[in-house]
């Protein structure tokens, strides 16, 4: 089974669909199931409803479940809606419990209740447990399909238990150890279990230094922990240290993608990234709140410029440099914002210290502001032949860049302290705020220069 390029996938599907349309079930199954489930999912998504309905009749619930696990969670509702309810319930029962819970969270509540009623009682019970936990917490992304052994078992007994439970477990590379009261007391790797003597007790070979997370821990913190420790799986416990489930690395990859997408959408000034299948009204509804906020902030900028109308009337050339100064401040602020938000997301600021970040950004703003200020002073002087106009623009850019850099770094840090998602300090928001600050600095200094008769030709 090898990776297929998109063209190769389409070519292969062209051969397989002949078997599908000619009702050659055995041939279709042999060729379709030869592909990796990811390629199966990509082909499946491209088909119309009639073709998908035929595929459902040719594949078992277990085989469809593998396909569904490789489909974007946001696109999956339509597929479960079009399936026969009993078939859909059987597919959900075959999907890993954490993924099944994620799928059900995307469905209408009435459909969820219907599927859970039809589903096998044991599978439904496991899924209901995960649905209980709040979204984006450790509990909501953990799986209950894992192997657990007892500390007082022998290695031989543990291996027999592992062989029995492994087929249904999501991972067996880490085996977690509990005591009689189901408290998490240790962990042992598959390698250590294999090389241990058969008559040794698990308590003698396990490691009792177990890193775990609370069931209510934010999924972003869990992702950071797994990244820092290079874990393949992480146990989830309650406040009494009872083992409830595990989080595997594939779940964390999904979390990282979700969090990155979420932060990117906020930095872009929208509540959620638009989905390709959304209509214009739905997309506009997501973008409009931020645009309205930015509209009122823009009105503040216009009002501010109106207060300096007399200054602009006396020296019209001043208006030429407003977009330059505002743009430079906005760009600098956005750069600092990106560094601050990334540091908060990765936890680097906790290790390096907030003061160190602020001091570094202040130094960066001073250096970049000074260099840009000197360059623009020389350029304006050579262009307009007025050294004081050059100094005004140069000093304004230097001051605006210093303030904008500090604002871009400090605003998300303050929001983080107030338990507000720092990503909402989005690029458009910081840019507009820095527009106001930079124009105030520039036109305020221009008024001062005029009062000193420094800009008179």
Segments making up each domain of the chain, as ranges: 6-136, 148-263, 280-451
Provide the CATH number for the domain formed by 148-263 in this structure.
3.10.580.10
Higher-confidence residue: 154 or 135? 154
User: What CATH architecture does domain 280-451 belong to?
Assistant: Orthogonal Bundle (1.10)
C-alpha span between 301 and 393 (Å, rounded): 19
Contacts of 197 (CB under 8 A, 6+ apart): 155
Position 199 pLDDT exceeds 60: yes
CB 174 within 8 A of CB 256: no
Residue range 323-376, pLDDT digits in tens: 888 888 888 888 888 777 777 766 666 656 677 878 888 899 899 999 999 999
pLDDT above 70 (res 413): yes
Higher per-residue pLDDT: 171 or 243: 243
Q: Token pair of 358, please?
A: 């602020």
Say whether pLDDT at 266 is over 60: no
pLDDT computed for residue 237 by the predictor: 94
Secondary-structure percent of the chain, ordered helix, strand, coil, rounded to 5: 70, 10, 25
pLDDT category of residue 278 using cuts at 50, 70 and 90: low
Position with higher pLDDT, 417 vs 367: 367
Within 8 A by CB and 6+ apart from 403, the residues are: 329, 365, 434, 437, 438, 441
Average pLDDT over residues 42-64: 90
Mean pLDDT of the chain: 83
Separation between Cα atoms, residue 176 and residue 245, nearest integer Å: 10
Is the pLDDT at 264 greater than 80? The verdict is no
| Predicted local confidence at residue 4, as pLDDT | 63
We find that the CATH architecture of domain 6-136 is: Alpha Horseshoe (1.25)
Query: Using 50, 70 and 90 to split pLDDT, how confident is the model at 260?
Result: low
pLDDT of residue 242: 93
pLDDT band at 200 (very low <50, low <70, confident <90, very high): very high
């Amino acid at each position: 089974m090898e990776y297929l390029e998109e063209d190769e996938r389409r070519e292969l599907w062209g051969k397989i669909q002949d078997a599908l349309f000619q009702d050659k079930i055995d041939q279709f199954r042999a060729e379709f199931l030869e592909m990796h489930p990811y390629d199966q999912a990509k082909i499946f998504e491209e088909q119309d409803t009639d073709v998908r309905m035929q595929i459902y009749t040719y594949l078992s619930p277990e085989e469809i479940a593998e396909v569904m696990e490789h489909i974007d969670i946001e696109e999956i509702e339509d597929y479960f809606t079009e399936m026969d309810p009993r078939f859909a319930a059987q597919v959900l029962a075959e999907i890993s419990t954490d993924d099944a819970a994620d799928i059900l969270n995307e469905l209408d509540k009435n459909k969820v209740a219907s599927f859970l009623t039809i589903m096998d009682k044991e599978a439904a019970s496991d899924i209901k447990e995960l649905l209980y936990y709040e979204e984006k917490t450790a509990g909501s992304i953990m799986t209950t399909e894992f192997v657990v052994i007892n500390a007082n078992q022998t290695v031989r007994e543990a291996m027999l238990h592992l062989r029995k439970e492994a087929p249904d477990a999501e991972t067996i590379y880490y085996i977690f150890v509990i005591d009689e009261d189901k408290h998490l007391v240790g962990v042992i790797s598959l390698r250590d279990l294999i090389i241990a003597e058969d008559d040794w007790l698990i308590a003698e070979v396990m490691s009792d230094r177990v890193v775990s997370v609370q069931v209510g821990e934010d999924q972003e913190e869990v992702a950071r922990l797994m990244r820092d420790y290079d874990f393949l799986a992480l146990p989830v416990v309650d406040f009494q240290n009872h083992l409830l489930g595990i989080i595997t690395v594939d779940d964390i990859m999904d979390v990282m993608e979700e969090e990155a997408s979420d932060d990117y959408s906020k930095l872009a000034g929208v509540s959620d990234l638009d989905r390709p299948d959304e209509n214009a009204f739905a997309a506009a509804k997501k973008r409009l709140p931020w645009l309205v906020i930015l509209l009122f902030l823009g009105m503040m900028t216009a009002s501010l410029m109106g207060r300096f109308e007399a200054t602009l009337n006396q020296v019209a050339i001043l208006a030429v440099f407003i977009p330059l100064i505002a743009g430079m401040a906005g760009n600098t602020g956005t750069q600092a914002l990106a560094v601050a938000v990334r540091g908060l997301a990765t936890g680097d600021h906790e290790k390096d210290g907030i003061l160190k970040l602020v001091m570094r950004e202040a130094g960066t703003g001073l250096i970049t502001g000074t260099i840009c200020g000197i360059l623009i002073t020389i350029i304006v002087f050579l262009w307009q032949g007025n050294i004081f106009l050059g100094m005004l623009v140069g000093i304004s850019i230097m001051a605006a860049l210093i303030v904008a850099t500090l604002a871009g770094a400090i605003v998300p840090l303050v929001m983080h302290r107030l338990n507000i998602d720092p990503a909402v300090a989005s690029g458009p928001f910081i840019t507009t705020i820095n527009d106001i600050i930079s124009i105030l600095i520039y036109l305020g200094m221009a008024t001062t220069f005029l009062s000193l008769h420094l800009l008179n030709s």
